[in-house]
Amino acid sequence: MNRESKRIITLFISLCAGFILLIGYLSYFQIFKAEAIRDNQYNKRLWIDEEQVLRGSIIDRDGEVLVYSQEKNSQVERIYKYDYLYSHIIGYSTREYGKSGLEKNFNSYLINANRNTAINEVINLINPVGVGNNLELTIQNDLQKKSRELLKGKKGSIIAMDPKTGEILSMISLPDFNVNTLKDNWGEISEDTNSPLINRGIQGLYTPGSTFKMVTALSSLKYHEDENIYNCEGTLEVDGYIFKDFNSTGHGSIGLKEAFSKSCNTYFASLSLELGHDRVKEMAESLFFNRRIPFDLDTSISRFPEREVGKTDVAASGIGQGRIVASPLNMLLITSAIANDGEMMKPYIVQRVISPQGRDVEVFGNEVLGNISSQVDISLMQEMMKDVINNGTGNNARIRNVQVAGKTGTAENASGKNHAWFVGFAPYDDPKVAVVVILEEEGSSGGSSAAPIARDIMIYALNNIKFRR
């Protein structure tokens, strides 16, 4: 073959390579990128579909309507009955600023369509749309209102859940925003340094402080490091860093149970040193640190340090300080699992998707995430948490006639003002409600400020909620 023919063939091959590049990129694009691009809020196709559909209603666990759509002058209107109450759970759906909350994550249910695919067209022939599916939540509207009242004027979050089923009964995060005037105040809301758009209950990450002692304690029970008696002198020096107890007063010679109920920092710091970084980390990770909690809304991942960087750090981890951060939902999940005899239930907020005709399209719930510890260890944990209420730092959460169990936390952080934590559940013998309260940069102890709020939530929930079981 002469030079000319050879070069002609080479040229042809390079042109083909160009075309193969196009085909390769098109395939790559469809497999890896198309979905995200399709869901881009600037894609007008999303709105074409939606504007033909009357978006479904959202109701609470007792059937109270929270959000609905109506047609007015041939225009679809979305009516949010509460300005603030559901700004984080239900969120918003606007053409300009996109969607959030359940409006975003359950969008395809609410508009009852997965776009104009051929299959959907056929389905639509049989079952004419125009109306989306409704959502029934696990939330109870009155408890939600009560939570917001209790938290008013503070920054932070309250979440209540049924530890045996994983139903989220209420979830409040403050500061929040008015969904009905969102379009007018978008600039103000999105630039607010207090970040009202963030759902602190599931997206906020806080130093857990002493509430993390639940994890350290579970780890020590697992590895039988719990029998030591330790002489607490109020301070403990590790590599030159001094760990102090509240008021620096010593607890004297104490065991795990008393150290837990008195929230003795020096005990848990030295316990963590004995256990070592890896064992505490192992327990933390089995409890969804460094892993995403599966949930109906977008959650942030709690962090436990990946690698050990010195003894001070390990000791700090044991008392929930240092580099650990946790989401309130995560601490609630751990509390619920302890309340539910070690079985951790998947938290959820949407109970059912109901078709406009009233048929169940999908029912959620009763999913188990795993067993966190042995029966014996869990019983001990439960007792220790009862002791926190009866003889320890959590006595502000005490309820007459109902035994409560819990743990307080007062987390030091960069702001200089402590976060006040409380996690707990009640009744002790047959837990129906578990609750987490976090008051961001409150500056006081968990026992004094968070525990009373938790108590009110638990009383209200036990008196007003129709539990499903």
Partner 1 sequence: MGSSISKIPIRLLFIFEILSLSLIFMYRWDNLDFNTFATGIGLILLVYFSNSVLRRISSGDHYIFLIVSMMFSIGLIMIFRISSDLGVKQLLWLLIGIGVFFLSYFTIKKIDVWDKMITLYLGVAYGLFAMTFILGSRLRGAINWVNIGGVSFQPAEVTKIALIFFLAAYYFNLEKYSKNKYSEWIVMGIVYSYIGLLFLQRDLGTALIFFGIYTGLQYIYCSGRRYELANLSLAVLGGTLGYVLFDHVKVRVTTWINPWPYINDKGYQITQSLFAIAEGSYFGTGLGRGNPAFIPLSYNDFIFSSISEEMGVFTGIGIIMLFVLLVYRGFKIALLQNHKFYRIVALGISLMFGLQAFIIIGGAIKVIPLTGLTLPFISYGGSSIVSSFLALGILQGASEKVVKEDEYNE
CA–CA separation, 442 vs 84, rounded Å?
A: 22
Binding range to partner 1, per CB under 8 A, among 22-30, 85-93, 199-207, 306-314: 22-30
Amino acid type, 219: S
Q: Establish if 191 lies at the interface with partner 1 (CB under 8 A).
A: no
Instruction: Count other Cβ atoms within 10 Å, centred on residue 413.
Output: 15
Q: Which is nearer to partner 1, 40 or 253 (CB)?
A: 40
Amino acid type, 190: S
CA nearest to 213, candidates 428, 66, 457, 410: 410
Q: Which of 63, 72, 121, 463 binds partner 1 (CB under 8 A)?
A: 121
Q: Which is nearer to partner 1, 18 or 416 (CB)?
A: 18
Shortest distance (Å) from residue 199 CB to partner 1: 26
Instruction: Give the contact letters, 45-74, x = binds to partner 1 (CB under 8 A), - = no.
Output: x--x--------------------------
Q: Which is nearer to partner 1, 24 or 310 (CB)?
A: 24
Beta-bridge partners for 252: 232
SS (H, E, C) 396-450: HHCECCECCEEEEEEECCCCCCCEEEEEEEECCCCCCEEEEEEECCCCCCHHHHH
Q: Establish if 4 lies at the interface with partner 1 (CB under 8 A).
A: yes
CA–CA separation, 116 vs 132, rounded Å?
A: 15
Q: Which is nearer to partner 1, 29 or 79 (CB)?
A: 29
CA–CA separation, 409 vs 413, rounded Å?
A: 12
Per-residue burial over 76-97, b = 16 or more CB atoms within 10 Å of its CB, e = otherwise: eebebebebbbbbbbbbbbeee
Q: Which is nearer to partner 1, 115 or 323 (CB)?
A: 115
Q: Establish if 16 lies at the interface with partner 1 (CB under 8 A).
A: yes
Q: Which is nearer to partner 1, 39 or 233 (CB)?
A: 39
Q: Establish if 5 lies at the interface with partner 1 (CB under 8 A).
A: yes
CA–CA separation, 423 vs 434, rounded Å?
A: 7
Shortest distance (Å) from residue 13 CB to partner 1: 10
Q: Which is nearer to partner 1, 11 or 368 (CB)?
A: 11
Q: Which is nearer to partner 1, 17 or 126 (CB)?
A: 17
Residue 136: its H or E element = strand 134-137
Shortest distance (Å) from residue 339 CB to partner 1: 46
CA nearest to 266, candidates 239, 238, 245: 245
The torsion angles phi and psi of 410, rounded to 5 degrees, stand at -130, 100
Q: Which of 32, 33, 184, 448 binds partner 1 (CB under 8 A)?
A: 33
Instruction: Give the contact letters, 75-114, x = binds to partner 1 (CB under 8 A), - = no.
Output: ----------------------------------------
Q: Establish if 22 lies at the interface with partner 1 (CB under 8 A).
A: yes
Q: Establish if 40 lies at the interface with partner 1 (CB under 8 A).
A: yes
Which positions touch partner 1 (CB under 8 A)?
Answer: 4-5, 7-12, 15-16, 18-19, 21-23, 25-27, 29-30, 33-35, 37-38, 40, 42-45, 48, 115-118, 121
